[in-house]
Amino acid sequence: MVVVEGSKEMEGAMIWFLGLVFGVFLLFYRSMLVFFAKGWQMAVDAEGYGPGLDLNESLAWGSIHQAEEAQPWVTVLVAARNETQRMGPLLRALTEQQTDFVWELLWIDDQSTDESAEQARNFLEQFSKVPFRVLERDGTDGYPSHKKGAIAYGVQQARGRWVLVTDADCVPGPQWIRAMIAKAKSRKGLVFVAGPVRLTPSNTLWERSQALEFMSLNAIAASTLSQGRPVISNGGNMAFDRRAFLETAPYDSNWKHPGGDDDLLMHQFSRLKGPSALTFCLDRQAMVDTPPLGSFRDFLAQRIRWISKQGAYPDPVVALILKGVWFMHALLLGTLVAGVLQGQYGLLAMALGTWGLKAWMDGHYTRTVAGFYERSAHWGLLLWTQLWYLPYTLGAGLAGYRGKFTWKGRNYG
């Protein structure tokens, strides 16, 4: 009898303790999402969702037109490895760009083992209306064998004042270059512009769920950049000042991390040039589409690669927040499992309540930003996404911190 009563007292104390911890977590999490929502509204107020910037007006200051610039103003840089099955739509989209200034295309083949370089060269020789170069890395350029090495090599070879980066499996619209460079020229002192990216097509339930999660991450990039506290970015759509890149050497402190061609670049620019030198282009004409991953295994491999770079974030506040959110997800899942296995329904109810409130807060933010991305965010899809997101966060987080993964035929870590 004494043992039973003692056990119940311990269970009660545990519930009260975890309730306090989860309460603090929810308050912190709510504050973070309010911060994101505020930043999103600031980005919307600054730019809006309309047909886009008045590009001619936006490009007015500074020399940029063909008659004034003998050299290309923009270098579109694509670092590609083994992309023969996915690069066709991007190549076609690049030949359809509408600009009134000089730009060049620089295709860096990152030691592909297929015919990517030859395929790109053949297509561009036939259809390109702008200067282009296809350069093949052979391991002798002095840069590491990963995407950051390919980008750094490309920046060295680029002729443009601004470098606009996308991935070989992305598809921008015809006004993409103009919209991104218009934002870059919208005020003096900018050295980095992040752009919108969404997953397309999204036909199956898994693809729609991926698109929802991906959309939220991209919106967080806009929300945080608009408030001068950059957190994440996406290498499928970003532009930066070439001279600023060469001056700051943003990859030199993090070469050992294969990922981070986008986030770590952005954070180093923020640290060395100040957060006011960074911005987000919240313009649908700057939107870049990229296909969802076909399997959960591929999705997990991608996210492990993304997470592996977090140890290199120069902003300790960002690193601490990311680790804190991961820890609370781990505690939440552990409490759910313990409540089920031990039949402690008090723990189970508390964990489910916490998870439900978190899901509601996530859903509210996601539904706020979905209109810009022209994506559905109904509550059924949000709930389904939450079901896999919790265990995924823990598994990918653990694997990512180990730093071991395989990507495009290369083993890292």
Give per-residue pLDDT as tens, 171-220: 999 999 999 999 999 999 999 999 999 999 889 999 999 999 999 999 99
User: pLDDT band at 53, cuts 50/70/90?
Assistant: very low
Could you tell me the CATH number of the domain that includes residue 157?
3.90.550.10
In three-state secondary structure terms, 99 is coil
Alpha-carbon gap, residue 26 to 359, rounded angstroms: 11
Average pLDDT over residues 315-338: 86
**Based on the domain organization, do 35 and 65 belong to the same domain?**
no
Domain count, the chain: 2
Q: Can you give the residue range of the structural domain that contains 147? A: 51-195+234-292
pLDDT of residue 7: 61
In contact, 377 and 366? CB cutoff 8 Å: yes
Answer yes or no: is pLDDT of 59 > 60: no
Alpha-carbon gap, residue 140 to 230, rounded angstroms: 34
**Based on the domain organization, do 132 and 9 belong to the same domain?**
no
Residues near 380 by Cβ (< 8 Å), separated by ≥ 6? none
**Based on the domain organization, do 182 and 268 belong to the same domain?**
yes
Average pLDDT over residues 261-275: 94
DSSP 8-state code for residue 277:
G
User: pLDDT band at 54, cuts 50/70/90?
Assistant: very low
Alpha-carbon gap, residue 71 to 103, rounded angstroms: 8
- Whether the pTM exceeds 0.85: the reply is yes
Question: Within a domain: residue 217?
Answer: no
The secondary structure element, H or E, covering residue 222 is helix 205-225
Residue of 298, 238, 288 lying closest to 263 (CA atoms): 238
Alpha-carbon gap, residue 258 to 147, rounded angstroms: 7
CA-angle at 409, arms to 405 and 411, nearest 5°: 35
Asked which of 153-167, 234-248, 314-328, 344-358 is least confident by mean pLDDT, the reply is: 314-328
Question: Within a domain: residue 332?
Answer: yes
Answer yes or no: is pLDDT of 410 > 70: yes
Residue of 369, 367, 152, 159 lying closest to 265 (CA atoms): 152
In contact, 239 and 180? CB cutoff 8 Å: yes
User: pLDDT band at 1, cuts 50/70/90?
Assistant: very low
Alpha-carbon gap, residue 219 to 368, rounded angstroms: 10
Please give the mean pLDDT across all residues of the chain.
88
**Based on the domain organization, do 238 and 366 belong to the same domain?**
no
